[in-house]
Structure 1
């Protein structure tokens, strides 16, 4: 979020500025046009754009700073701009005030958690009997992750945008942030299938290709979770999108640390099969929240709209 003074550049509200003076300042530096410039509309448009920018800068009282002035670490601060100390707590306030931001944090945190589980268990699975992969071969199995992430980027990028545009046309040209979330239906299938092939399959000593294929299925969902969560926050809370992403990252880091710290003890205590059955169930629960947000997201936005715009007015936030 960047504070923006809406009155800057508004000529009607600028004190002690005569319109005739503005007009004169815009025309005083008019260059003599050559015949080629008269015949070239692009040159004339460029000149008119330059003159209008100069007039706006003059009208708003802006002046070019000196070199030393640009090096200052302090400068003009509008009295209506909140202090940095107050902005420091804004992401925490957003987290507890708007359910959509909590949903985004849960989705991104779940994705990071599954990634940590896979990263902490791959060498444990393939480096021991019956597979006995070398370190080089274990590294090559991450090519399945590259393929899976590539497919996931396509699904959560181009396909998500195309689906949102299609649903917007059916909705009378109105696009809702929840329309992108329908692509999570793919993750509802991919995540449990990948966990069963990768973890449960390895516990039954299936062929190594099945384990690697399951790894690829899990990785398909990784970019889908982050992209859908971030775009939902950007579409819903444009004015505080930066602070909303900070709130999301706060949840993500806590969940990622918890699973990264506990993945090996979890597998040792529960066993490989039960551990990945648990991961499959937890992943389904996280992705089901995306399905739930498709139906309850808009009512929740309406319910929190009044408090949201009060907060925007209080902090002087604008969309950018």
Structure 2
């Protein structure tokens, strides 16, 4: 993606003050006449660096000699290196732990809704995902307006200081809603409850899924804002690993335990995963403080290599 491969070098402008002297890095005066502004623009063009246009083959190259050490291997190393940072690893784990339950829902919805006593057609199974859309809309309000309001209120109680861990408190609702949704879905299907109950479970599970994704990413960005783009690759690596694993595990899990026992165990696992946010509430700030020097060293290195945004 060449548009993200742009080398962000800064240019120091030299502006004459009319007396044969110059001041490097001077900002443009907003009161300049159009003529003087046009003259400066012409000077900037004259002193600019002219680059030769790349050929199509050069644009496809995986290695850019002009980028120095800021290459693909360095970014790959950083993706793995960030796994040792507790906050980043937690963000990926939290993201993945909520996503896998929605994968479980996707993996069993056709089996449950398409079989007796519901006997939904393929079109009706697809239409049932409107419930998930409603849950996502509710979660967007919960993690948006409510989360911002709660964070501001907690910051005021903390003498006006906003801590990244304050973003995590809405996870408290998921400790209850995740296991309740899984039990309603799996145990309800085992006991042939009305189909509306299963759609409620789909709605609330989608609500938790969206909350988990949004709050996890918010926590990451608030913790390491300058490295959040690079750290997101690590988060996605953890998330995809968990999602890949559950895709292979859900079918034998259900076949060996049955709907009831499978989803009761899933409910307690989901509750345990959701409760991990309490550990970050307690020690998250300590983890961030320990990584402070490493964080700023990497930020400075990225700036020097033209990767500061």
TM-score w.r.t. length of structure 1: 0.79
Which of 284, 289, 294 aligns to 1:297? It is: 284
Structure 2 equivalent of residue 109 of structure 1: 96
Alignment partner of 1:244 is 2:247: no
- Cα deviation, residue 309, structure 1: 2.7
Could you give the per-residue CA deviations for residues 16-50 of structure 1, whole angstroms, max 9, x where no partner exists? x9517999x989x9437xxxxxxxxxxxxxx97x8
Q: How many residues align?
A: 294
Which of 192, 195, 210 aligns to 1:208? It is: 195
1:1-320 aligned at under 5 Å gives the runs 8-9=11-12, 18-19=21-22, 30-31=33-34, 54=41, 57=44, 61-63=47-49, 68=53, 73=59, 77=66, 82-96=70-84, 98-316=85-303, 320=309
| Other structure's SS at 1:271 match | helix
**Distance in 1 (alpha carbons) for counterparts of 2:298 and 2:51:** 34
- Cα deviation, residue 9, structure 1: 3.2
**Distance in 1 (alpha carbons) for counterparts of 2:24 and 2:260:** 80
**Distance in 1 (alpha carbons) for counterparts of 2:308 and 2:160:** 21
| Other structure's SS at 1:174 match | coil
- Cα deviation, residue 2, structure 1: 8.1
Query: In the superposition, relative to structure 1, how do residues 186 and 7 fare at CA in structure 2: closer, same or farther (>3 Å)?
Result: same
**Distance in 2 (alpha carbons) for counterparts of 1:282 and 1:51:** 68
Structure 2 equivalent of residue 39 of structure 1: none
Query: In the superposition, relative to structure 1, how do residues 127 and 76 fare at CA in structure 2: closer, same or farther (>3 Å)?
Result: closer
Two-structure CA RMSD over aligned residues (Å): 3.5
- Cα deviation, residue 229, structure 1: 1.1
Could you give the per-residue CA deviations for residues 234-278 of structure 1, whole angstroms, max 9, x where no partner exists? 111122211210001111111111111221221011110111112
- Cα deviation, residue 225, structure 1: 0.9
- Cα deviation, residue 219, structure 1: 0.9
Gaps of 5+ in 1: 33-46
TM-score w.r.t. length of structure 2: 0.82
The answer to whether the 8 A contact 2:12-2:24 is kept is no
- Cα deviation, residue 133, structure 1: 1.9
**Distance in 2 (alpha carbons) for counterparts of 1:76 and 1:137:** 55
Query: In the superposition, relative to structure 1, how do residues 8 and 208 fare at CA in structure 2: closer, same or farther (>3 Å)?
Result: same
The answer to whether the 8 A contact 1:22-1:55 is kept is no
**Distance in 2 (alpha carbons) for counterparts of 1:58 and 1:26:** 19
Could you give the per-residue CA deviations for residues 155-188 of structure 1, whole angstroms, max 9, x where no partner exists? 1122212222222233233221111111111211
**Distance in 1 (alpha carbons) for counterparts of 2:129 and 2:218:** 27
